[in-house]
Chain A
C-alpha cells in the first residue's frame, strides 16, 4: 500500500523491521537515545532513491555486526567465516531489500539505485540518524536528501 510521497523515518523503520524479521530472523528495536552507540571501524551501505525526493538511504554498523548480519542471511554457524567481500555484499543486499520496500510504499514514480558498500572509520552523527538495534549493537540509519 502506498502511504507516503517521500521516505521518512517511520517508513524506513517499518521496512527495516520487516527485513530484520523475515531475512535476518531478528528484531529491530529503537536504540535508547541515552545509550552510547559508538564504534570505530564499521561498514556503510548506501543506496540512491530518485523521484519526487532525491537522496540516499544509508546503513552503518560495526564490522562485527556486519559479519553477524551476513551470517544470519546465509544461515551460517558462529564459527563459519565469510570473506569481507561477501560480508559487504550481504549488507548491501539488506539495504537493497529495505530500499525496495521503501520504494514500493511511495506514491509516484521512483528509481532505486544499486547498493554501494564501503568501510568506515566511525559512526555517523546521531543528529542525522536514527539508530536501531542488532542484538545488543547499534545500526545507524540515515535518510539523506541530495544537496539542493
Chain B
C-alpha cells in the first residue's frame, strides 16, 4: 500500500515513518507532504491508500485537507497524528471522516492498534 505522511515538521515525518516501521508497517511505500496544500496535491498525484496527517499545518490544516478530500468525493482512509488529542478534536475528526486520531507523543502500539486491521 502507499501511505502519505503530511506534517510541516520534517523531524516528525521521520518519527512517524520510524514508528510505522516499529509497528510492523515498514514494508509499505511512503510519500510525504510538508503542509495541507501539498498533501492535497500529493493525494491527487500519488493516489495513496492511506493519509496520516498532522492537524495544525500552514497552507491548509489537516482538517481542511480532510474536508477538501471528502468534499470532492475522495474517500481515502485518513487518520490524524497530532499534538492535540482532546475529545472535541476527536469528535471533529470523526465527523469530518477520519478513521482515527493518534495523539503525540505516540508509540508503535498506537499505530498498531489503529492500523493493524487495515494494513495487516
Q: Which residues of A contact B86 (CB under 8 A)?
A: 103-104
Residues A73 and B11 in contact in the complex (CB < 8 Å), given A18-B105, A97-B104, A100-B103: yes
Which one of A73, A93, A100 contacts B85 once the chains associate, using CB atoms below 8 Å?
A: A100
A112 to B56, CA, bound (A): 8
B37 CB, nearest partner CB in chain A, Å: 14
Residues A92 and B105 in contact in the complex (CB < 8 Å), given A99-B83, A104-B86, A112-B56: no
A8 CB, nearest partner CB in chain B, Å: 18
Q: Verify if B96 is at the interface (C-beta below 8 Å from A).
A: no
Residues A93 and B105 in contact in the complex (CB < 8 Å), given A104-B86, A112-B84: no
A70 and B11: CB pair below 8 A?
A: yes
Q: Which residues of A contact B57 (CB under 8 A)?
A: 114
Q: Verify if A146 is at the interface (C-beta below 8 Å from B).
A: no
Q: Verify if A28 is at the interface (C-beta below 8 Å from B).
A: no
Q: Verify if B74 is at the interface (C-beta below 8 Å from A).
A: no
Q: Verify if A101 is at the interface (C-beta below 8 Å from B).
A: yes
- B30-44: CB near A (< 8 Å → 1, else 0) gives 000000000000000
**Chain A contact surface mostly:** helix
A56 to B26, CA, bound (A): 37
Q: Verify if B24 is at the interface (C-beta below 8 Å from A).
A: no
Nearest CB in chain B to that of A75: its residue: B18
Q: Which residues of B contact A85 (CB under 8 A)?
A: 10
Which one of A18, A86, A97, A114 contacts B10 once the chains associate, using CB atoms below 8 Å?
A: A86
Which one of B8, B14, B103, B107 contacts A114 once the chains associate, using CB atoms below 8 Å?
A: B8
Q: Verify if B9 is at the interface (C-beta below 8 Å from A).
A: yes
| A positions within 8 Å CB-CB of B | 18-19, 22-23, 70, 73-75, 85-86, 89-90, 92-93, 96-97, 99-101, 103-104, 112-114
